[in-house]
Chains A and B, each alone.
Chain A
C-alpha cells in the first residue's frame, strides 16, 4: 500500500501537490519529510491522518497504511 502526502504553498515547488510514497511498517512523519528533503523547522503545521498537533510530536506518530499527511510551511492571513 501507499501513503499520500499533501503539500502546500512553497512545499509544492519541485514536488507537486500530492506525493505518493510506499508504506513501510513503523514509518513516521520524520521518515516522510526526510524522503522529501523537508526539515522540521521549515514546517509550521502538520496533520497526520486527520489529527494535528505540535510538529515535533506529530513527526514521531506512526503513519497508517493507506493514510495521509498534510504538511504546511508558515502561512497566515485573515
Chain B
C-alpha cells in the first residue's frame, strides 16, 4: 500500500477500548482521503439523523494521501462529523503540523466514538495509545492546554478544544499549534460533548511512496509553479490573506454592519498592507508550505507576538461591526483562538446582535445594562466575545451563533447565514457565482467550498463579469468539485491559485502508483460532493435550504460599485441543478449517482 499508512485507530471513550483496523485501500482510492474518505467512513457508521451531541455520534480525524509527504503544503487533516451548528455534514480542515504527525505516528485516521465519563485526552506515540485524565486541563485556554501537554509529552503536536468546545458552543473550533483551526461548523463542540479535551501525536514513520523519483520531479515542478505565480509566490507570502481587504472593498462587496452595506471608507486601517507594514513580525507557514501566508504579529499578549488574523477575521471584527481598529482585530483573533471559537461565526454573531440592537429587538435591559452591543462601539467587541466564550449572561445566547440568536427573537432573517452557518466576507449581490456557491454549499455558508471570488473579483485565472449569470453554474460546479478533491488529498486549497487538476493527478499518481487523469480526479471530486449531498438529504436538510438570506434576494445594495444589485438565485439555481445532473428539486438522480459509483 503506497501513500497511506494503512491503519485506522478506533477509540471508544465509553468503554476505553482502543484498537486498530486495516485501511480498505480500494475504498480509499475511490474517495481519496480527508474530506471524501472521511465522509464515506462516517456515513457507513453513523445514522445521518443522529443528535450531534449524542454519545453514539462519532468524530473522525483523517489525513489525505499527500499529508506528510514531500508535496508542497502536504500537511493538512480533516475533521468529519455531523455539525451541531448546521445539521449538515461537517468537514473542517486545518493546517499546521498536527496532521503530518498523525501520519508519522502510523495512522491515516482516528475514529472517536462514545463519551468519556470524565474529561480525558488521548496520547498517541505510534503503537502506544492511551486515554489519560484531563481534569487538570479542562477549562483551560488552548495555549495553556498545549503548553501543559507539551510538557508532559515533549516533541508531540497538540490538537485541543478550548472552553467554548467544552461548553458546547455551536461555533466551537478545534485548534492545533495554538493558532491553526479546524474552525467551522462547530466540530469543537462535538469533541467537548465526548469529554475529549485534546489529542497529542508524535512518531517517526513515513509513508511508502510508489515512485520516489517521480514524486521528486513533480514536487519540484509544482514548487516552481507556486514560486512563479503572482499570488502564491508574491501576494500571499508578502501580505497574507489580509491582502484581500482592499480589493474586496474597492469592488463594493466588503460587507459592513452585518451586510447592510458593501463599502467601508476606513478599511485601509485593517488592510493587508497595514498589517504587513505596522504589525508583522514574521511569516508563520504550515507544514511543508512554500507559500507561508500565515502571520505572526505584534500583540500586547506576548512580547514574542501572536498568530495573526486572516482576511475573514479582519473583516468580521472590523467592517462587519463598523469598527476599524487593527489592535481590536488582533485581540479578537487571539481570544477566539484561546476560547476555541470560529472567528467568522463569532464575529458574525456579534454583527447580528448589533443589528438586532439597532432594530430594537435587543434592549439595554436584556444586556443587564452591560456594555452596549452597537455598531461602532469598539468597547463591546472583546467584552462580549469573552462572555460568548464563557457563556456568561447574554453571552450564553450569543454562543449559539447568529441564526439561533436571531431566531430567538423571531427574526432569523437578520442572521446572514446559509443553513445556519455564517457567511464569510463577500456580499453575494455583487458576485453572482459566489452567491450560488454560498446557497449550494454542503456545509452551509462558506467560501472554501468553491471560491468563485477568484475569477469574479480577483481576475484569476481569468476575469469573469461578476454580475453576469451565464456560465456561472458551470464554473460553480467545477470549482466545487475541484475543492472537494483538493480537500481530500491533504493539500492546501491555496495551491489551486497556481496548480491545476493535472498537477494534483500527477502528485497523487506518483505517491499512490495510480494512473489517474485530470478528469478522473475531478470525477472523484464530484463523487465526494454528491456523497455529502446524500448525507444532508438523509439528515433532513431540505433542498429548500439551498438559498440565501432574504436581504440578498430582496434588498438592493445601497452603495458603492455594487449599488442597485440583488442576487438572482432564482435564475441560477435551476441551471445549477441541471449542470449537476440533479432533478429540478435539487435531488441527485439515479443516473448521475450510478455514473459516480454511488
A54 to B468 Cα, complex, angstroms: 13
Within 8 Å by CB of A51, from B235, B268, B497, B561, lies B561
8 Å CB interface, A36-56 against B = 44-45, 47, 50-55
Give A12's nearest chain B residue, CB to CB.
Answer: B273
Is B311's CB under 8 angstroms from A78's CB? Answer: yes
Which residues 264-288 of B sit at the A interface, judged by CB distance below 8 A? 268, 272-273
Contact yes or no, B230 A73, CB < 8 A: yes
**A49 to B, closest residue via Cβ:** B561
Question: Is B246 a contact partner of A8 (Cβ separation < 8 A)?
Answer: yes
A50–B235 touching, CB < 8 Å: no
- Which 4 pairs of residues, A with B, have the shortest CB-CB distance? A77-B241, A74-B230, A75-B235, A50-B561
**Set of chain B residues within 8 Å of A51, measured between Cβ atoms:** 561
Check: B526 CB closer than 8 A to any chain A CB: no
Contact (Cβ within 8 A) B244 A75? yes
How far is B247's CA from A26's CA once the two chains are assembled, in angstroms? 26
Q: CA separation between A52 and B448, bound complex, in Å?
A: 24
Number of A interface residues, CB 8 Å?
23
CB-defined contacts of B517 to chain A, threshold 8 Å: none
With A45-B457, A50-B561 given, is the CB distance from A76 to B236 under 8 Å? Answer: yes
Q: How far is the CA of A47 from the CA of B252 in the complex (A)?
A: 11
A72 within 8 A of B: yes
A77 to B424 CA separation, bound complex (whole angstroms)? 12
Q: Footprint of A on B, CB under 8 Å?
A: 229-231, 234-236, 238-244, 246-247, 250-252, 268, 272-273, 293, 310-312, 424, 447-448, 451, 453-454, 457-460, 462-463, 465-466, 493-494, 497, 560-561
Known: A45-B458, A76-B454, A77-B310. A9 touches B244 (CB 8 A): no
Known: A9-B273, A45-B463, A53-B465. A76 touches B458 (CB 8 A): yes
User: CA of A12 to CA of B240 in the docked complex: distance in angstroms?
Assistant: 16
Contact A75 B465 (CB under 8 A): no
Is A19 close to B, CB under 8 A? Answer: no
B234 touches A74 (CB 8 A): yes
Residues of A close to B465: CB separation below 8 A: 53
Least distance between B12 CB and chain A CB atoms (Å): 37
Is A6's CB within 8 Å of the partner chain B?
yes
The answer to whether B231 touches A9, judged by C-beta atoms less than 8 angstroms apart, is no
Chain A 49-67 per-residue mask, 1 if CB under 8 angstroms from chain B, else 0: 0111111000000000000
The 0/1 profile, CB within 8 Å of B marked 1, for residues 16-37 of chain A is: 0100000000000000000000
Which among A44, A50, A53 is the interface contact of B458 at CB below 8 angstroms?
Answer: A44
Contact indicator A75/B247 (Cβ below 8 Å) = yes
Known: A9-B239, A74-B234. 4 other contacts (CB 8 A): A10-B238, A47-B561, A54-B462, A77-B235
Chain A minimum-CB-distance residue to B458: A76
Nearest residue in B to A46 (C-beta to C-beta)? Answer: B459
Would you give 28 A-B contacts (Cβ < 8 Å), ordered by A?
A6-B250, A8-B243, A8-B246, A9-B238, A9-B272, A10-B234, A10-B238, A12-B273, A17-B268, A44-B458, A45-B457, A50-B560, A53-B463, A73-B230, A73-B234, A74-B231, A74-B235, A75-B231, A75-B236, A75-B243, A76-B244, A76-B453, A76-B494, A77-B236, A78-B311, A78-B312, A78-B424, A78-B447
CA distance A70 to B245 in the complex (A): 13
Closest B residue to A51 by beta carbon equals: B561
Most buried by A among B453, B457, B463: B463
Shortest C-beta distance, B425 to chain A (Å), equals 9
Chain B residues contacting A9 (CB-CB under 8 Å) are 235, 238-239, 243, 272-273
Q: Are A47 and B251 in contact, CB atoms less than 8 angstroms apart?
A: yes
> What total of A-B pairs shows CB separation below 8 Å?
105
Interchain CB contact under 8 A, A76 and B235: yes
Nearest CB to that of A8 among chain B residues?
B246
Which B residues are in CB contact (< 8 Å) with A47? Answer: 250-251, 561
A8, B273: Cβ atoms closer than 8 Å: yes
Interface centre among A6, A51, A76 (most CB of B within 10 A): A76
Q: What CA separation (Å) do A10 and B458 show in the bound complex?
A: 15
**A52 near B561: Cβ-Cβ < 8 Å:** yes
Looking across the interface, which residue of chain A has its beta carbon closest to that of B244? Answer: A77
Contact of A78 among B250, B251, B272, B493 (CB under 8 A): B493
Bound complex: CA A37 to CA B419 (Å): 48
A44 touches B310 (CB 8 A): no
Report yes or no: B460 in contact with A44, Cβ–Cβ below 8 A: yes
Asked whether A77 lies within 8 Å of B243 as measured between CB atoms, the reply is yes
Q: How far is the CA of A76 from the CA of B454 in the complex (A)?
A: 7
Tell me, rounded to whole Å, the shortest Cβ–Cβ distance linking A6 to chain B: 7
CA distance A73 to B247 in the complex (A): 10
- With A and B bound together, what is the CA distance between A55 and B460 in angstroms? 11
A70: which of B230, B234, B250, B310 is its contact (CB, 8 Å)?
B250
Question: Does the CB pair A52–B466 fall under 8 Å?
Answer: yes
Whether A72 pairs with B247 at a CB distance below 8 angstroms is yes
Residues of A within 8 A of B453 (CB): 76, 78
Instruction: Name the residue in A9, A12, A53, A72 with the highest tally of chain B Cβ atoms < 10 Å from its Cβ.
Output: A9
CB distance from B588 to the nearest CB of A (A): 27
Tell which of A17, A55, A70, A73 touches B463, judged by Cβ atoms closer than 8 Å. A55
**Distance of A42 from chain B, by nearest CB (Å):** 8
Bound-complex Cα distance A6 to B273 (A): 13
**Contacts A9-B238, A10-B234, A44-B459 given; does A78 touch B244 at CB 8 Å:** yes
Residue in chain A with minimal CB distance to B251: A52
With the chains together, A44 CA to B272 CA distance in Å? 17
What CA separation (Å) do A72 and B241 show in the bound complex?
14
Chain A min CB distance to B493 (Å): 7
- Closest-by-CB residue of B relative to A44 is B459
| A58 closest partner in B (C-beta) | B463
- Nearest Cβ distance between residue B226 and chain A, in whole angstroms? 13
In the complex, what residues of A have CB within 8 A of residue B560's CB?
A: 50
Residues of B near A55 (CB, < 8 A) are 459, 463
Bound Cα distance A17, B447 (Å): 29
Q: Residues of B contacting A45 with CB < 8 Å?
A: 247, 457-459, 463
